[in-house]
Chains A and B, each alone.
Chain A
Amino acid sequence: MNFKQFLIRAELVKNEEIQKDYFVSWFHSPDISKFTKPGQFVMMESGQYLLRPFSIYEIEKECAGFLYRVIGGGTGFLSRLRPNERVLIHGPLGKGFNFSGNKSKPILIVAGGIGIATFPLVARSAFESGYKIKTLYGARSNNDLVCIDQMKKYGDIEIITDDGSSGQKGFVTELLTNELNKNKEQDIFVCGPTPMLKSVIKACNEFNVTAQVSFEEYMACGYGVCMSCVIKSGDKYVRTCIEGPVMRSNAINF
């Protein structure tokens, strides 16, 4: 069996508040760091009853980093962890993004809100493999933009905010439409809140292109045993923690 998932009590190395309410937690987790593929996630003990799903944001040597916005009990708990404290981490889990193998076809990243958290590792891996990358990034406001300098290292970035406090005013789908009008031959990687995913998929359908979309459904187990994280594909519900979180937009009826 192809099995590279671990259940470890990982030690916090450091907690950085990179912006108000946005944290990166680094854990010493050699196994997870070694076997993670870009776009995968972990389930993490967060002082609540259920574990919480988080994308793997970056890998640095033997450490894995997780970027999150504090929105509730679990993310609050993680943000207050101190170095040397341990939490149970289960992962890496799920299927990540697929690189086409065709290096002349650029990768277009479309991120909404905290959906950006999954992309630094994706962009770095793609960049190191020789792909050309461009990022379209939408957020609520100036205060919710993170990772911009990092993403700039790997390619161009265009920003749009709901309130116009940074970049253009509007939604990221508008940037995508412009981009597709210029060039449809791009591999589109998407992650963001559900309403944004819906409108991005709609746009892709209109242009007759397929995107790889990372879904963030509610996950109770993260490894396929509970059937909570499902999404409709044809007439069936499939588990996004196993078939995804990254799935092809044409496989999903949203």
Chain B
Amino acid sequence: MQLLETKVGNTTFKNPVFLASGTCGVAGRELAPYFNLNELGGIVTKSLSIKPRTGNPTPRVIEIPGCGMLNSIGLQNPGIEYFVKEELPFLKEQNATSVVNIVGETLDDYIQAVDYIKNRNEFAAIELNLSCPNVESGLDFSQDPKKAFTVVSEIKKITKIPVWAKLSPNVTDITQIAKGCIDAGIDALSLINTVIGLAINKWTKKPVLPRVSGGYSGPAIKPIALRMVWETYKKFPNTPIIGIGGIHNADDAIEFLLCGATCIQIGTANFVNPKASIEIISGLEDYCRKTKLSSITELTGQAHLQNQKTVQLAH
């Protein structure tokens, strides 16, 4: 077994590092010039809906100095059909592993979009975006355990592709939503999507983003994400967790793994460094060697153990 090889359910990935939805174009094409896309554990597509979506008016992004950024893209995407026809062949050509991220406003939207791809064998998983904060109805599915249960069980009925649910941090207790998904047979949980936030322009005296609030991402949300991974792993240690939120380097990634994540996704970091993800892969490999791990999978959840030994580095 390779040092970085990882399993989510029965699916094996080359390594635990993925590109997060919405931070690598529609499906990673723009990153291909910087490294081979097949060096990644996988690529998660932009959230795709049954019909194309035009997205929100501009400005769509504002930096939060030193902390990250707020976005309100509004799920602009070319639709699932376009993706399958125009982008998927490119991913196959690159021999890249892909996870298709699906979004909908209604249960029926999710079902229709998944129906379109349910029998294809190219996808390592379907990630259901239950949690986009930038559309009217976007948070419903990730704020109510019953609704989460319903959408996951309906999708599980129609496809054999493993299903991951991407949850929102904008809830009182994320483990309740996780439980709804687990009861419905989810294969993995992706934690977390962006945190709802707001910024005001002191000159116009109005919110910067036309839709008032937006999704906060970047370094500032890492502690929030880590705690949600921690709580979820503690309650449901048998459900694989994909950790997401503010990961910029291998150290960040290691924190997530120790907290309970099996894999991690790189989001906003791609904006400031297109090579962030492959630098993280080599950083993880370094760490494994330095700490004499035989497999990166040994890290998952270790921070929960009682008698941890501090790593002594050989100098």
A residues in contact (CB < 8 Å) with B: 1, 3, 5, 7, 45, 48-51, 73, 88, 90, 217-218, 220-221, 223-228, 230-231, 235-237, 242
The size of the chain B interface, using a CB distance under 8 A, is 34
CB < 8 Å neighbour of B58 from A7, A226, A230: A230
Q: Name the residue on A nearest B208 (C-beta).
A: A218
Residues in A neighbouring B271, C-beta threshold 8 A:
50-51, 220-221, 225-226
The interface residues of chain A, by DSSP majority, are classed as: loop
A226 to B30, CA, bound (A): 10
A90 to B55, CA, bound (A): 27
* Number of A-B residue pairs having CB atoms within 8 Å of each other in the complex: 84
Residues in B neighbouring A1, C-beta threshold 8 A:
32-33
CB < 8 Å neighbour of A218 from B25, B31, B61, B270: B61
CB distance from B29 to the nearest CB of A (A): 8
Residues in A neighbouring B69, C-beta threshold 8 A:
49-50, 220
A-B contact pairs, 21 of them (CB 8 A): A5-B33, A49-B66, A49-B67, A49-B272, A50-B63, A217-B58, A218-B60, A220-B61, A220-B69, A221-B270, A223-B30, A224-B30, A225-B24, A225-B271, A226-B23, A227-B22, A227-B73, A228-B59, A228-B71, A235-B54, A237-B54
Known contacts A226-B23, A237-B55: does B275 contact A7 (CB below 8 Å)?
A: yes
Contact between B34 and A7, CB atoms less than 8 A apart: yes
Q: Name the residue on B nearest A235 (C-beta).
A: B54
The interface residues of chain B, by DSSP majority, are classed as: loop
A13 to B68, CA, bound (A): 30
Residues in A neighbouring B275, C-beta threshold 8 A:
7
B residues in contact (CB < 8 Å) with A: 22-25, 30-34, 54-55, 58-69, 71, 73, 76, 218-219, 270-275
CB < 8 Å neighbour of B65 from A45, A49, A228: A49
Q: Name the residue on B nearest A51 (C-beta).
A: B272
Residues in A neighbouring B272, C-beta threshold 8 A:
45, 49-51
Q: Name the residue on B nearest A224 (C-beta).
A: B30
Given contacts A227-B22, A228-B60, 14 further A-B pairs with CB under 8 A are A5-B33, A7-B34, A49-B63, A49-B69, A49-B218, A50-B69, A221-B271, A224-B25, A225-B23, A227-B73, A228-B58, A230-B55, A235-B54, A237-B55
CB < 8 Å neighbour of A225 from B55, B63, B270: B270
Q: Name the residue on B nearest A231 (C-beta).
A: B58
Contact between B219 and A227, CB atoms less than 8 A apart: no
A1 to B68, CA, bound (A): 32
Contact between B73 and A228, CB atoms less than 8 A apart: yes
